Amino acid sequence: MYNQKRMENHKTYGLTNKQGDIINDLPIVNDVSGVYLYTMNSKLDNEFIAIMDVLIGLSDSLLSKWLNITPRTLRNYKNKKNLTLKGNLKEHIVLILSLYKHGTDVFGNALDFEQWLSSKNPLLDNMAPSAFLNTSSGIQLIDNRLSAIEFGENV
């Protein structure tokens, strides 16, 4: 299972050692209580934004759409020192990072995972998986699809 894998090669993603450790410590998407406790106990808000900026090679406009904020707000978060995010936004970021961890483990790299995320999928009513990432239940749905791929289902 992916929760036992480690992003050993975090430097290929441009992450620092500390950021790689944070990625390794993320709870899996479908561990609801683990995600909640991790999010509420974590004071790594600036690091989460920095990791998301480095790990996810997509535009600020798309990321902000997933997070239900404006691109300007996302840019402000990137530049703010001592950032404190609201709990629901921090949880959403943690879920997206955890999904990326799983997706890069399944596909071998972020680029192939992002290509899958942006491609229409007949099992998702011909919608791209990325269309579901603006809610936590949508992230869980896409994470379940990744688990199906891991176990050989053609998704």
Residue 152, CA atoms < 13 Å, CB-side half-sphere: 0
Identify any residues that bridge with 121 across adjacent strands, giving them in sequence order.
127
pTM: 0.89
Structure tokens at 18: 């500390």
Contact 70, 62 (CB under 8 A): no
Phi, psi of 74 (to 5 degrees): -60, -45
Query: pLDDT 10s digit of each residue in the chain, 155 long?
Result: 443 344 444 445 678 899 999 999 999 999 999 999 999 999 999 999 999 988 887 889 999 999 999 999 999 999 999 999 999 999 999 999 999 999 999 999 989 999 999 999 999 999 999 999 999 999 999 999 999 999 988 66
In the chain, domain spans: 15-150
